[in-house]
Structure 1
């Protein structure tokens, strides 16, 4: 999976969100409860893992994401990007100040070891 290159170096904090609904329009933050904050090596490791997700073909489920990550720079004001993951249809939707239209919708292989490791991280972060 491809992440916005300039955002990777600028990310100081990742907020993990357990999504409760899909927003009414694209580009709006996904509603849900923040379940974790990752910084330092933890954030770097998560971004590396996300970046290593192998690409896949689209599967149809209607896009029902369970978790998202929001990456913030040092100022912690606006998210550099938010990526919402649907492990059923293997789709990631991203938006934010660092996201180009070419990166906004991507597909990953949810059955691979990196994807299952990411799902394990998300589940471990959720109380």
Structure 2
């Protein structure tokens, strides 16, 4: 999967969101419950894992993402990008200032070991559980 060099270099915190609906308008944050915050080595590990997701062809499910990540820069005020993952249709949709238009919609192999590991990380995050 392609992530911009800016996103890789500038991300200081990742917020993991359990998505409850699609956004009301294009470019708006995906609504849902924040279930975790990843910082330090968790950010580097997550971005490396996402960057290694192998590509795939499009599968049709209607795009029903279950989780998204929001990547924040150092001041924690600016969201660099949000990426919503649908493991049914193997699609990720991204938006934000660190996302060029071309890779805003990508497809990944949801059966690849990297995707299974990412999904396991998402599922391990439970609302109300202390994060850190």
Match of 2:70 in 1: 70
| Structure 2 Cα separation of the partners of residues 37 and 73 of structure 1 | 13
| Structure 1 Cα separation of the partners of residues 12 and 78 of structure 2 | 12
CA RMSD after TM alignment: 0.7
Offset of 1:53 from its aligned partner? 0.3
Offset of 1:25 from its aligned partner? 1.9
Match of 1:58 in 2: 58
Match of 2:92 in 1: 92
Q: Report the TM-score, using the length of structure 2 for normalisation.
A: 0.94
Residues 22-79 of structure 1: CA distance to partner in whole angstroms, max 9, x if unpaired? Answer: 1122211000000000000011000000000000000000000000000001111121
Q: Which runs of 5+ in 1 are unaligned?
A: none
Residues 8-32 of structure 1: CA distance to partner in whole angstroms, max 9, x if unpaired? Answer: 1101000000000011222110000
Q: Secondary structure at the match of 1:47?
A: helix
Q: Which runs of 5+ in 2 are unaligned?
A: 128-132
Q: How many residues align?
A: 127
CA contact 1:18–1:126 (8 Å) conserved in 2: no
CA contact 1:69–1:84 (8 Å) conserved in 2: yes
| Structure 2 Cα separation of the partners of residues 75 and 88 of structure 1 | 34
Q: Report the TM-score, using the length of structure 1 for normalisation.
A: 0.98
